[in-house]
Structure 1
Amino acid sequence: MNTANLTRSETAARSAAITVGDYRVELDLSGAPDQTRQDFTTTTTVEFAATVEHTWLDFLGLSVESVVLNGRTVVPDYDGARIALSGLTANNVVVVRATGAYSRSGEGLHRFLDPADDQTYLYTQYEPADARRVFACFEQPDMKAPFTFVVTAPNGWEVLANRPVTAVESDGANQTVEFSPTLPISTYLTAVAAGPYHRVESAWARKELDVALGILCRASLARYLDADTLFEVTKQGLDFFAEHFDYPYPWGKYDQVFVPEYNLGAMENPGLVTFTEAYIFRGAATAAQYEGRANTILHEMAHMWFGDLVTMVWWDDLWLKESFADFMGALASAEATEWTDSWVAFANRRKAWAYLQDQLPTTHPIVADITDLEAAKLNFDGITYAKGASVLKQLVAYVGREEFFAGARRYFRAHAFGNTTLADLLTELSAVSGRDLAGWARAWLQTTGVSTLTLEGADIVQADPRPHRLAVGLYDFDATGDLVRRERHELDIVTERTPVTLAPAPLRLLNDGDLTYAKVRLDAESLHTVQRSLDRVTDPLARGLIWSALWNAARDGELEVQRYLRAVRDFAAAESNMALLTAVLANASFAIGHYLPEAMRGRWRGEWLETCWAAMHAARAGSGAQLTWARALAAAATVDSRRADDIRAVLLGTAHPPAGLSLDPDLRWAFWTALAATGAAEATELDAELERDDTASGRTAHRRALAARPDPQVKAAAWAQALDDTALTNDHLDAVIGGFRAGARRDLIAGYDHAYFANLRTVWDERSIEIARRIVVGLFPAADSLADVDAWLAANTDAPGALRRLVLEQRDHLARDLRVRAKQSHRAT
């Protein structure tokens, strides 16, 4: 039995029998700067009531030194994942002294050594169940309790936890910091960070509430930290949620810390939100990047209520926090910040993620059936986030905006510091809206799949019917030649075919305004119009829906891929919305590499490279468009060497880049990686670039570029590193895998296909799920047939469900590639 993989049934039984009083967690991190030391001491005191004689605490560490239960020292009964407790009474106190291990995978207590200044940084990441890597606990979301953290760390370090500091003692070399007790929270929401972080402070106040604000990052990144911009968005968000939720921010302070080698975009630890350092821009950044960062800040802030204050009972209802946060992030961005077009990015990027996930054979309802932790780990996906948020947008239209927020306020008041299920939320929304939401929940939350809407004559036809409230926009050319909306018709559709009376128009756009969750197809006349005049559509949301319709039709094989690529070639340079431009350029690159037959690929790679080169030079100097095209050029040059000499000249300073283009370190590395992947850069040149940028990001990029070189020995070394080098950090593993795959050189890496499948079970058994997932997905072969993957699936019916899910998803992506390519070949003949 895999005792690390907790099941829903056993945790439900445990929470029914155990009521936690509180925790005191003492961590000795004073030895963290010593890189030869891999361990730390952790001592947990838990008070709890019990109605059973036996239970267990969860702990994933190196060893358990002692267990004292109700004042009696007992021999630790520890199997590497669970500490068994026997002889329980009605009220109990257990003290566990153990040894934990510093993480290099981003799970648990992650340790990072900054190569820029040799400083050590620590932070925790627990969701869904990695608090047990740091302290012994009842690791499940429905066993909330107050936590008091006491952390010993070197003097001079910033030491942070969810709550403010109450006491500090120092012995000269080290400090022991005690924090005030948290309000009741789940184990996965506790957090600690420690290190010589650079800190900037501010404050936010409303009525009787004063909240101290902090923003932190590594000292070597301090010069890039735009704290004023970050604080502005933070305060705008706190104002928005205070007004709409009418429940005072409950967590005392609000620190936001940007951390290295992070597995996620961010995590909503109450009072101590962690973010990826990718949101600290070392060079120029586009409006899309700033908008995306603002959205993430507001997404995590919404969690302070949806998820932290009120938490799901088990991971089946993960959507109760993630769908809401995704929706609220976009809503708050649009209504409280400068990013008023945030719904455009949502419609084109977030929903694209949902549409992709919802068409996989492993799709699941928004309210999922999550039987264990391995399944939970993989459920942080496009269904739970983006589809759920899309459905909530439909729900707001269905019950009414005021009623929706009134229901949310009732929900917070009724369940503050508790745990809930779907029924609890629907009860409050039904009470204020007067609507019975059971049918809506069945149609949207408990089913799978994405509807496809098409105009056929005078009917709207939908595959996979659901109830939709949507609009149809009729667009016509005005006197200046722009395509503008002339009429808009809102209607409800339920059945497979719905009659609709629409006047003729050059462009008839289904789901105008993006009210519902569905793929839409353009009718023949509308398709003809946009392929001549897409750049004349003035509304960015309408353009986003058109780009989305074209992309979905191309990846479904219903629109010739070359027609999609011609639309990108003809109109992308005129796209003013940076979120749309970024997505469209990425889609074009993907389409060439995945959906075109080999015979067509070479011509389009060259044409796309020249399109990017010309657009980069034509874009306004210093603009986000110029930078976006430069990044697309780097990606295109990774598989086509025809601009290698020009790129090299710019990097070496013998030719000037386009006026206004900042060759920041990240862009330089993207160009060097492109040269390396096509055999146009030597290792010595990559080493010289590392000397120029000997930072954490530089070292990671250097690994990727070295592994990208088209040399059989280089690929063999990269393969061995990815499979066998357990010292690689999460980011370094990604770099090695990315370099191995760079250049799309199947002639160099196809020979590893058999080894990939032969190693899958071992990788899953011996590596953490985060690292294993990166290997399983990152190294999946881009083969020309499904034979090998089908053989593995047939021979491994007993493989863990989470592993089979990943393989099945990768199989489906490959099957789509092959299917769409075959259609293009058939059309070509």
Structure 2
Amino acid sequence: MSSANLTREQTAARAAGIRLDTVDVDLDLRDAPKTDAATFGAASTLVFAATVAETWVDFIGASVDEVILNGVSQAVEWDGARIRVSGLVEQNTVVVRGQGRYSTSGEGLHRFRDPVDDQVYLYTQYEPADCRRVYPCLEQPDLKARWRFTVTAPVGWEVLSNGAESARTPIDGGVRVAFAETLPLSSYITAVAAGPYHRVDGTWASDGQSVALGVLCRASLAPHLDADEILDVTRRGLDYYGTAFAYAYPWGKYDQIFVPEYNLGAMENPGLVTFTESYVFRGKATAAQREARANTILHEMAHMWFGDLVTMRWWDDLWLKESFADFMGAHANVATGAFPEAWVSFASRRKSWAYEQDQLPTTHPIVADITDLEAAKLNFDGITYAKGASVLKQLVAFVGEEAFFRGAQGYFAAHAYGNTTLADLLAALEGASGRDLTAWSDAWLQTTGMSEIRVERGDALTLVQTDPRPHRLTVGLYAFEGDRLVRRARVELDIDSARTPLSAPVLPDADLIVPNDDDRTYAKVRLDERSTDAVTRALSSIDDAVTRAVIWAALWNAVRDGELPVARYVDIVCRHAPGEPNVALLADAIAHTGFAISRYAREEDRAALAAAWLEATWNALQAAAPGSDAQLAWARGVGAVAAVAGDRAAEIGAILRGDTAPPLGLALDPDLRWSWLISLAATGHAGSAEADAELLRDPSASGRSRHRTVLAARPDAGIRAEAWHAAWTDESLSNDHLDATIAGVRAGGRRDLIAAHDADYFARIRPVWAARSIEIARRLVVGLFPASDSLADVDAWLAANADAPASLRRLVIEQRDGLARALHVRSEQPTG
């Protein structure tokens, strides 16, 4: 095992012998604007108590130049990841000076040059263990310290860290900025950002507490930054959380910075939260997009308590922060009044992610067995986030909301600035609720998979569940009133067995029966045939958006399981998506339809289905209310399917050229234009000239990435081959440019253009895993997996590489499962 891949046992042993007190970090970033800048000065001074004679300091950088232990220089013993330090005494001060490397993969200290104004921007991203790529540290969550940062940067730059700026001193070639000492933090949530960022200031004040707020982005994006809405959501959240958790926001200031080429949605660094700049909308944004951004803001804010104030001891209990933050993001969005329909999006999007992840052969309990850092990196998944949040929603129903928050308050009070495990949380919740949560924990947190719930008709109605678990749920019963489906009854019940009679007043002859009608529990819902017939006729007539979300999810799961034919699903979407008022549900239905056609339809049916779907999206676009969210959702849907079906290429091209006016009210923002142009390129209706012309219109960083995709998407085997090889071999590609290249290779699902590279894929994945960072390697392994019509090649690789790193095998196994599902579902499609 590489020394970079720390294990749970190794870090536990280190924590048993070390008590970390403070870490002083000194970074010199003055050379960052230089074209050839590759490294930066990095020094750490670590003060700690020890009961062991030796330990190691983590650092993955360009060089280690000096190690000083208690004032005495030491020989440098560094293997590229660990610096050995021996001769420890009871109290120790270790100084390590070296050179870090700038990153272009979004791991460590990322360096980005804006093509619009040639300005350089820096930011850090560490979770789970990339702090050591920037400065020497003890890289594990249970060795917290008080951190003091000093950063030297070019004059005129914004320089930020977790603490408030405390001093700024001009020096030769730059400015030296010092920051206030933090309260105890784990290394992975420390942070630095520097560059000529645009900044908007604000303040939040309540009950005598005043917090300085900042919202930042690149200067070239400043015209698009809707800071007022971001600050409004932030203030609502701070109002809510301080009261709900009975613990005042502890981290001083609250800066939120939107950064380029970001690998995540956001990261909860206290005092300096980082977000993907995809949340800075360059054109019209739908309510669903704004809701998703608010959800992320509130998710990260929840981490100020769940994760930052109280932190898991090791990555087994990652859920202790991520599941809670995912739940709180939606809960607070509703509770604060920011976006009252947030649970609708949760039911459709987050749960869909969880259901899909939980059906993979690599699924794991919410409380996972994480043996090392590579495993931790891949466990930021639909189980840890969305299933965990879904289960917490069930827990709140189980113990009651008031008891749940009392338990959280006790948890923070008891463990502030410390590290915890599952047992600590259960003790707090049991104390507040008076309920024994042992059986609940065993059933939900330490098992895998999900129940499938359906209602069986007969003389009476019976709720049937596979893989029985305890659920508190609601069954909705609907009947037709004219052409509308109207809820006539709801049955609330607790179940824990395979079969449960519905004994409350019910409609035994209901036209539609919806298990989990209010989406309270976590289970796959299966509609019976009569209910499916009813929603085929009148899904869009149901008033309750959460119920519609449950039904849309049930239909999609039925498609994925081969229970509902793709053609019938497409028919339902064509009938009812144009009448779906919730734009998140609409966008999901559009996306699922395209995926169903490309992955689950039989090859001989695909072209006709894609053509019909293109016509449906095109007609819905023309019919949508001008300027509405629905109009934009349908326009994006046209872009997606037009990469497969070229029947509307002439009209799309004419609109892009300006020869034809777009539908009334539709703003052709840069992202929509690029989406349509990529689709034209994939079907052979646009080439390099059109790509270059579009780049002149939009020379931004996003435009340059999309330009790369257009060029790679052209339907020529030689062009696709060139892009294929660039993805694997061109290490100058940033994370975003790699994604853009992969998107071009895969554009339009043209297996005929790339199938020749299948053997090359399997020859490359193990070497690339060893040679590249896990983030870049993961994108290659997942993004270029062959969507072939056989499992033979992947099975042969798995058999021949039983000794491959477990994290690599996990990715390959998951991709194999997706392919196996696609092949199975295709085989279940009706013929004729």
| TM-score under structure 2 length normalisation | 0.99
Q: Secondary structure at the match of 1:732?
A: helix
Q: How far is 1:743 from its partner?
A: 1.2
Provide Cα deviations, 1:715-772, integer angstroms capped at 9, x if missing partner: 1110111000011000000000000000111111000000000011111000000000
Q: How far is 1:346 from its partner?
A: 0.3
Counterpart contact for 2:404–2:429, Cα < 8 Å? yes
The one-letter amino acid paired with 1:651 is L
Q: How far is 1:528 from its partner?
A: 1.1
Q: How far is 1:329 from its partner?
A: 0.3
Q: Does 2:110 correspond to 1:105?
A: no
* Paired position in structure 2 for 1:808: 813
Counterpart contact for 2:610–2:644, Cα < 8 Å? yes
* Paired position in structure 2 for 1:774: 779
* Paired position in structure 1 for 2:2: 2
Using the alignment, how far apart are the partners of 2:634 and 2:536 within structure 1?
21
Q: Does 2:553 correspond to 1:548?
A: yes
Written as runs of structure 1 = structure 2, the 5 A alignment for 1:567-606 is 567-606=572-611
* Paired position in structure 1 for 2:694: 689
* Paired position in structure 2 for 1:532: 537
Structure 1, gaps ≥5 residues long: none
Structure 2, gaps ≥5 residues long: none
Using the alignment, how far apart are the partners of 1:208 and 1:720 within structure 2?
60
* Paired position in structure 2 for 1:149: 149
Provide Cα deviations, 1:411-460, integer angstroms capped at 9, x if missing partner: 00000000000000000110111111111000000000011001112211
| TM-score under structure 1 length normalisation | 0.99
User: Which of 758, 767, 791 is equivalent to 2:796?
Assistant: 791
* Paired position in structure 1 for 2:670: 665
* Paired position in structure 2 for 1:129: 129
Q: How far is 1:484 from its partner?
A: 2.5
Counterpart contact for 1:236–1:336, Cα < 8 Å? yes
The one-letter amino acid paired with 1:421 is T
Over 3 Å counting, the alpha-carbon distance change for 1:64 and 1:172 in structure 2 is closer
Q: How far is 1:477 from its partner?
A: 3.4
Counterpart contact for 2:474–2:491, Cα < 8 Å? yes
Q: How far is 1:338 from its partner?
A: 3.4
Written as runs of structure 1 = structure 2, the 5 A alignment for 1:697-716 is 697-716=702-721
* Paired position in structure 1 for 2:644: 639
Written as runs of structure 1 = structure 2, the 5 A alignment for 1:147-226 is 147-171=147-171, 173-226=173-226
Q: Does 2:465 correspond to 1:466?
A: no
Written as runs of structure 1 = structure 2, the 5 A alignment for 1:474-485 is 474-478=477-481, 481-485=483-487
Counterpart contact for 1:242–1:249, Cα < 8 Å? yes
Q: Does 2:514 correspond to 1:509?
A: yes
Counterpart contact for 1:69–1:95, Cα < 8 Å? yes
Using the alignment, how far apart are the partners of 2:515 and 2:687 within structure 1?
52
Using the alignment, how far apart are the partners of 1:484 and 1:737 within structure 2?
47
Provide Cα deviations, 1:781-824, integer angstroms capped at 9, x if missing partner: 00000000000000000000000000000000000000000001
* Paired position in structure 2 for 1:494: 496
Using the alignment, how far apart are the partners of 1:293 and 1:14 within structure 2?
39
Q: Secondary structure at the match of 2:446?
A: coil
Counterpart contact for 2:483–2:538, Cα < 8 Å? no
Using the alignment, how far apart are the partners of 1:85 and 1:172 within structure 2?
34
Using the alignment, how far apart are the partners of 1:484 and 1:154 within structure 2?
65
Using the alignment, how far apart are the partners of 2:451 and 2:522 within structure 1?
8
Using the alignment, how far apart are the partners of 1:799 and 1:521 within structure 2?
38
* Paired position in structure 2 for 1:351: 351
Q: Secondary structure at the match of 2:386?
A: helix
The one-letter amino acid paired with 1:476 is A
Counterpart contact for 2:652–2:676, Cα < 8 Å? yes
Using the alignment, how far apart are the partners of 1:378 and 1:676 within structure 2?
34
* Paired position in structure 2 for 1:117: 117
Q: Does 2:685 correspond to 1:680?
A: yes
Q: How far is 1:265 from its partner?
A: 0.3
Provide Cα deviations, 1:624-657, integer angstroms capped at 9, x if missing partner: 1001000000011101111111111000111110
Using the alignment, how far apart are the partners of 1:606 and 1:699 within structure 2?
30
Q: Secondary structure at the match of 1:642?
A: coil
Using the alignment, how far apart are the partners of 2:287 and 2:648 within structure 1?
27
Residue range with higher mean Cα deviation, 730-739 or 533-542: 533-542
The one-letter amino acid paired with 1:641 is G
Using the alignment, how far apart are the partners of 1:19 and 1:57 within structure 2?
13
The one-letter amino acid paired with 1:423 is A
Counterpart contact for 1:678–1:710, Cα < 8 Å? yes
The one-letter amino acid paired with 1:766 is A
Written as runs of structure 1 = structure 2, the 5 A alignment for 1:305-324 is 305-324=305-324
Q: Secondary structure at the match of 1:828?
A: coil
* Paired position in structure 2 for 1:624: 629
Counterpart contact for 1:251–1:270, Cα < 8 Å? yes
* Paired position in structure 2 for 1:398: 398
Counterpart contact for 1:155–1:172, Cα < 8 Å? no
Q: How far is 1:481 from its partner?
A: 4.4
* Paired position in structure 1 for 2:66: 66
Using the alignment, how far apart are the partners of 1:154 and 1:652 within structure 2?
43
The one-letter amino acid paired with 1:155 is V
Using the alignment, how far apart are the partners of 2:754 and 2:687 within structure 1?
20
Residue range with higher mean Cα deviation, 555-564 or 24-33: 555-564
Using the alignment, how far apart are the partners of 1:335 and 1:486 within structure 2?
28
Q: Secondary structure at the match of 1:84?
A: strand
Q: How far is 1:103 from its partner?
A: 0.2
Counterpart contact for 2:491–2:502, Cα < 8 Å? no
Provide Cα deviations, 1:473-505, integer angstroms capped at 9, x if missing partner: 112234x74322221111111111112233221
* Paired position in structure 1 for 2:365: 365
Using the alignment, how far apart are the partners of 1:498 and 1:465 within structure 2?
11
Using the alignment, how far apart are the partners of 2:653 and 2:477 within structure 1?
49
The one-letter amino acid paired with 1:68 is I
Q: Secondary structure at the match of 1:49?
A: strand
Written as runs of structure 1 = structure 2, the 5 A alignment for 1:434-445 is 434-445=434-445
Using the alignment, how far apart are the partners of 1:756 and 1:172 within structure 2?
50
Q: Does 2:738 correspond to 1:733?
A: yes
* Paired position in structure 2 for 1:239: 239
The one-letter amino acid paired with 1:433 is S
Using the alignment, how far apart are the partners of 2:9 and 2:338 within structure 1?
46
* Paired position in structure 2 for 1:266: 266
Using the alignment, how far apart are the partners of 1:474 and 1:498 within structure 2?
16
* Paired position in structure 1 for 2:620: 615
User: Which of 648, 654, 658 is equivalent to 1:653?
Assistant: 658
Using the alignment, how far apart are the partners of 1:600 and 1:366 within structure 2?
39
The one-letter amino acid paired with 2:468 is P
Identity of aligned residues (%): 62
Q: Secondary structure at the match of 1:112?
A: strand
Q: Secondary structure at the match of 1:309?
A: coil
Provide Cα deviations, 1:376-402, integer angstroms capped at 9, x if missing partner: 000000000000000000101111111
* Paired position in structure 1 for 2:51: 51
The one-letter amino acid paired with 2:827 is A
Using the alignment, how far apart are the partners of 2:557 and 2:685 within structure 1?
36
The one-letter amino acid paired with 1:355 is Y
Runs ≥4 residues deviating over 3 A: none
Counterpart contact for 2:755–2:788, Cα < 8 Å? yes
Written as runs of structure 1 = structure 2, the 5 A alignment for 1:416-427 is 416-427=416-427
Q: How far is 1:243 from its partner?
A: 1.6
Using the alignment, how far apart are the partners of 2:669 and 2:348 within structure 1?
28
* Paired position in structure 2 for 1:563: 568
Q: How far is 1:172 from its partner?
A: 5.9
